[in-house]
Amino acid sequence: MCSEHRDNEGTGKQGMTRRGFMQIMGTGAVGASLSGAAMAAGSKPEPPAKILDATDTVKINLNINGVNHAVLVEPRWTLLYVLRETIGLTGTKEGCGRGECGACTVLIDDIPRYACMTLAVEAESRRITTVEGLMMGEELGPVQTAFLEEDAFQCGYCTSGQMMAVEGLLRKTLKPSMDKIRRGVSGNLCRCGAYNHIFRAASRAAGLKTK
């Protein structure tokens, strides 16, 4: 007698074979055994970890231009947004909003960074410098003075970002070559095309800083 015929002999009214019945019973027994072992061990399911919602607010401390600011922010807020809308430092400009133009450049631990691509929570407990922080009291700092003397701007919208890129370069290299200056400001766009003036301003600023 073939195996198919033997299986069909045990088929009940609902079409269940002896083999199928035994497989189901075996699976149930294994499941019951595992459940019983877990209960005997007293294990409890762990509650799911709380996922921070984008609209939840958290308190962070930002050190900006040497001043500590305790602010409530949403985790999704960029440093650019917090600087302008929460703290009121509007010298940092919003251009493209996606890290392409450099108008929002600030220094974080003396390194130029796009504020539009940096979350405010990322900058906590770091040294943040904005264009306002380049002032020397009520007077312009060396980089600002050089930009003024070399007429390194036209519409001026990109100027604060250009200044911060130059400041970051000079904090790393006091006497950069013209090639290093070009590389240092290569991430900052000027729609007016005042690049030659910007390069001269960077070189002039290097001289003012070493006096």
Percent of the chain beyond pLDDT 70? 74
More confident residue, 29 or 94: 94
CA-based torsion, 161, 171, 174, 144: positive or negative: positive
CB 175 within 8 A of CB 184: no
More confident residue, 36 or 151: 151
Q: Looking at 47-56, 171-180, 192-201, which range is the least confident one?
A: 47-56
Q: What number is the average pLDDT over the span 42-53?
A: 57
Backbone angles phi, psi at 190, to 5 degrees: -125, 110
DSSP 54-118: TT--EEEEEEETTEEEEEEE-TT-BHHHIIIIII--TTSPPSSSSSSS-TTEEEETTEEEEGGGS
Would you say residue 152 has pLDDT above 70?
Answer: yes
DSSP 103-165: TTEEEETTEEEEGGGSBGGGGTTSEEE-GGGG-BTTB--HHHHHHHHTT--SS-TTHHHHHHH
Q: Looking at 27-41, 117-131, 140-154, which range is the least confident one?
A: 27-41
Please name the residues in contact with 94: beta carbons below 8 A apart, sequence gap of 6 or more: 80, 84, 103, 104, 116
Distance from C-alpha of 154 to C-alpha of 7, rounded to nearest angstrom: 91
CB 106 within 8 A of CB 115: yes
Q: What number is the average pLDDT over the span 78-89?
A: 98
- Mean pLDDT (the chain) is 85
- Structural domains of the chain, ranges and CATH numbers in brackets: 135-211 (1.10.150.120)
Per DSSP, 189 falls in state -
pLDDT score, position 166: 98
Q: What number is the average pLDDT over the span 155-172?
A: 98
